[in-house]
Chains A and B, each alone.
Chain A
Amino acid sequence: MSTATEPIDEILKRGYDAGFVTDIEQEYAPPGLNEQIVAFISEKKNEPEWLLAWRLKAYRHWLKMTEPRWAKVSYPEIDYQDICYYAAPKSKDDAPKSLDEVDPELLATYEKLGIPLHEREILAGVAVDAVFDSVSVATTFRAKLAEVGVIFMSFSEAVQEHPELVKKYLGSVVPIADNFFSALNSAVFSDGSFVYIPKGVRCPMELSTYFRINAAKTGQFERTLIVAEEGSYVSYLEGCTAPMRDENQLHAAVVELVAHKDAQIKYSTVQNWYPGDENGKGGIFNFVTKRGLCEGERSKISWTQVETGSAITWKYPSCILKGDNSIGEFYSVALSNHRQQADTGTKMIHLGKNTRSTIISKGISAGHGQQTYRGGVKIMRGATNARNYTQCDSLLIGDKCGAHTVPYVDVRNSTSQLEHEATTSRIGEDQLFYCRQRGLSEEDAVSLIVNGFAKQVLKELPMEFAVEAQKLLGVSLEGAVG
């Protein structure tokens, strides 16, 4: 097989296409973290007093917490005093009202990434709240959304315009002291998205945010809050890519979802942060807390994620099924190549009666990649007739990678039913042989098989994302068989 591996090795070494740096002046907070920095951020954003108090409370909690080390990932010690906690594009003061006013260099950046905003506006019918580092610079389709009463804006704007909603829901799903990274986020979060869907409204379009980390040495601390009132529906898309960097960048986001009675939230992510080079140098540390609360009866929250980027991924989008008959879903494809390490999964907490959850997780490891599914399913005493189905499959490509499956199952109600199954195997030689025999190149064959392996999850993605996700999987893995 030695000759066959040569082109494959080349592909495995393929550079990161989205790696480039946009040169725009940044307004930094000095590196380091203390109460002054927290106050600085709050002041910069012109926040009300209660929010500053909230941030400081989180900061003081964070000081008492220790970084979790239970995940199966290893990375160098993070010096939290060496990170800049605030960076905003200079042009913030004269904020653009439309795309024409947006810094052309920014637009060029999106151009290179293949997400031309103006085209997307027309073609895809997607409202893009593009986040360049920490401050939103362009929001589209605002008017159309406002017609039906949907609020979709950057978090800082929401703090100014809808403080009562922010105050009511901020921290209601992920409390301040939930974990080390969420406490850090609560103290220093810079910006993010806020979505509010009023009662009975079906959001007329898919809401989408593209994230980019751009300034070296600045962590990105996004805060997303989505509230769906009774009988409403929203589909939210989150996608991201970051330029090539040598230094590790910390990303600790918090996403909170609240679904009231009969409401549905569909949250999809394609994550392609810079994964580091083939020796594991550089790359994003992605420590994310995502949690949804199915507050009302018959509410539904569905997480779909395609995770192909980041050097370290630590992420467990979860659902708290509080309302009777509520539904939680988690569909995930995670891929780790080179030296990437991903410890990801979900937590389904069944509190209400007749609650149902489905977990489908597909892990792909190649190169020296390490991949862990870590999931928890809890069925509490009152969750009569609760139902969970979990399936996690892992695909291994190459003998130096690892795939690990760690499910936790706690059941305290005898009328509930729970099933978990998992398989791990390598890419089938007979399948590869069959495809090769039909004249497919090895790369195409692998891409085909991997896409087939992940299909169950990819089909859950909205169309706009499904295409990108398939392409991502293909690019990241083509010919990774040796």
Chain B
Amino acid sequence: MTQQPQTLLDSIPASFDTGPQWLRSVRKSAAEVLRERGLPDKKTEEWRFTSVRPLVATEFARADAEAPKLVSPAPKGVTVRSLRQVLEQEPARLEGRLALGESEHFAALNTALFTEGLWIHVAAGVVVEEPLQLIHEPPKTTEPGVSYPRVLVTVESGSEATLIETYPGENPGQLTNSVVEVELGRNAKLNHVRIHENPGLQVGRVEARQEADSSYRSVVLTLGGALLRFDVRALLQGQGAECRLDGAYLVDGNDHVDHHTVVEHQAPRCQSDQTYRGIASGRGTAVFDGVVFVHRGAQKTEAHQENRNLLLSDTATVHTKPHLEIDTDDVICSHGATVGSLDESQLFYLRTRGIPEELARAMLTYAFIEEVVDRVSHEPTRDRLREAVLARIPAGEAVRGAS
């Protein structure tokens, strides 16, 4: 791909002439939506607190890396194929599965422009013990570049798998605009861990479409970012489906991270639970926005949502907006949000036990998001995350030594 650097909107082609007909029309509608709406500004409710102005005018070179690869070979029952290849050889198999053409701005941009990606397919009735690990290496160029990773994960009926995605990177000029779609068949289970290590520009979206009795569990860990926006959306379409969306984010310096969750209860007897924790220090800004929609007819819904934030400096800012939109009556729904500093009485307790103040603070700070880190069931990943979090907490290394 050798193209002149262009602004994001200018990079949308006037027409789409390659690929299967259905994909062309999905891309065409995505392009139309974008041309009509442009990129979000401060007036766009979902982007009130996150300005993408630095992205609008920047001319990015198209810098797609190769298709992401699994760290280890795919286990039995799992097929991993390049999206480009499937689109060339058996395009009908993907029809209706690569969607989001008319969704919000950046996912539409990815839909219009992605050229390569992965399709991870877990056959029916397969329980995959080892996690599938995916690393999205950014391109190594230095000038501003943009890449559009795209992943489709299909877990067929009765199967179980764990996917661990990592977005590493060191180059703050690179923009990653990723889309991951997850399809869960009846009674299928996916544990999805997503780690944002990139300190640069990232926009990402995960959409999980769930059939009856399926389970989607997501743990997102964001270790800062100059500008990061992550959206996860779970569609509970079949009876008895459940989802758990958990996440933790740390901001420091001039970081700005923005996490949005959406749970759509479209069928009866579904359950959802969300726990997001944030630590804001330096001049960082952390935004959380979570919505639970309970559609008419989705009786016996149980939905809970919690967002807690620790504000460690007077120059940091936390915005949180957990909301519920409920259109039926037989539900149990709750949400809660808190913003505050470390609990003085807990601090005092630790100090009376002879623990130095700095260490006590670090312990309590780590403990604040440990619950989320502990939700990662794969031990080596959990240990790695623990290290990564401790490395970003003031005096964190002392906690490591103390425990």
Contact = CB atoms under 8 A, between A and B. Distances in A.
The answer to whether A and B belong to the same complex is yes
A56 to B, nearest CB: 29
A398 B311 CA distance: 41
Contact of A405 (B296, B323, B340): B323
Contact of A407 (B321, B334, B340): B321
A99 interface: no
Contact of A404 (B299, B326, B330, B338): B326
Interface stretch (B105-113, B150-158, B312-320): B312-320
A411 B321 contact: no
A413 B331 CA distance: 36
Interface in A384-418: 394, 396-418
B324 A420 contact: no
Contacts of A415: 314, 341
Nearest to B342: A414
Give the interface centre of B45, B313, B326, B341 by most chain A CB atoms within 10 Å: B326
B317 A422 contact: no
A470 interface: no
Secondary structure of the A contact surface, majority rule: strand
B334 A399 contact: no
A72 B327 CA distance: 13
B274 interface: no
A426 interface: yes
A430 interface: no
B328 interface: yes
B296 A411 contact: no
A421 interface: yes
Contacts of A396: 326, 328-329, 331
Interface string B103-137: 00000000000000000000000000000000000
Contacts of B324: 394, 403-405, 422, 424
Nearest to A414: B311
B325 interface: yes
B332 A425 contact: yes
A397 B329 contact: yes
A422 B326 contact: no
B321 A408 contact: yes
A100 interface: no
Contacts of B335: 405, 420-422
B57 interface: no
A419 B340 CA distance: 8
B177 interface: no
Contacts of B323: 404-407
Nearest to B333: A424
B341 A414 contact: yes
Interface in B200-232: none
B336 interface: yes
B331 A416 contact: no
Nearest to A421: B336
A217 interface: no
A348 to B, nearest CB: 13
Interface in A300-315: none
Interface in B271-306: 296-297, 299
Interface residues of B, number: 35
B322 interface: yes
Nearest to A406: B323
B309 interface: yes
Nearest to B291: A406
A423 interface: yes
A24 B311 CA distance: 61
B337 interface: yes
B319 A402 contact: no
Give the interface centre of B45, B316, B323 by most chain A CB atoms within 10 Å: B323
Nearest to B304: A423
B336 A422 contact: yes
Given A407-B321, A409-B318, A416 B326 contact: no
Nearest to A376: B321
A60 interface: no
B248 to A, nearest CB: 18
A423 B324 CA distance: 9
A410 B336 contact: no
A414 B361 CA distance: 14
B339 interface: yes
Contacts of B337: 407, 409, 418-421
Nearest to A400: B296
B339 A411 contact: yes
A412 B296 contact: no
Nearest to A403: B326
B338 A410 contact: no
B113 to A, nearest CB: 31
Contacts of A417: 338-341
B340 A412 contact: no
Given A396-B331, A409-B320, A425-B333, A402 B338 contact: no
A425 B319 CA distance: 26
B67 to A, nearest CB: 40
B29 to A, nearest CB: 25
A423 B318 contact: no
A418 B319 CA distance: 12
A408 B322 CA distance: 8
A18 B326 CA distance: 32
A409 B336 contact: no
A424 B331 contact: yes
Contacts of B321: 406-409
B331 A425 contact: yes
Contacts of A397: 329
Nearest to B321: A408
B338 A419 contact: yes
A403 B330 CA distance: 12
Interface in A191-228: none
A20 to B, nearest CB: 34
Nearest to A482: B329
Contacts of B333: 423-425
Nearest to B317: A412
B235 to A, nearest CB: 19
A399 B326 CA distance: 10
A381 interface: yes
A223 B67 CA distance: 64
Contact of B296 (A399, A406, A408): A399
A419 B320 CA distance: 11
A50 interface: no
A279 B313 CA distance: 53
A404 B291 CA distance: 10
A418 B326 contact: no
B324 to A, nearest CB: 4
A426 B319 contact: no
Given A410-B318, A411-B318, A424-B324, A399 B340 contact: no
B340 A418 contact: yes
A70 interface: yes
Nearest to A419: B338
Contacts of A401: 327, 329
Contacts of B314: 381, 412-415
Nearest to B302: A425
A401 B326 CA distance: 8
25 contacts: A396-B331, A399-B328, A399-B329, A399-B330, A400-B296, A404-B323, A404-B325, A405-B324, A406-B321, A407-B337, A408-B319, A409-B337, A410-B318, A410-B319, A411-B319, A419-B337, A420-B322, A420-B335, A421-B337, A422-B336, A423-B333, A424-B324, A424-B331, A424-B332, A424-B334
Interface of B: 45, 296-297, 299, 309, 311-314, 316-341
Given A415-B314, A418-B340, 8 more contacts: A381-B314, A397-B329, A410-B319, A411-B311, A414-B311, A414-B314, A421-B337, A426-B330
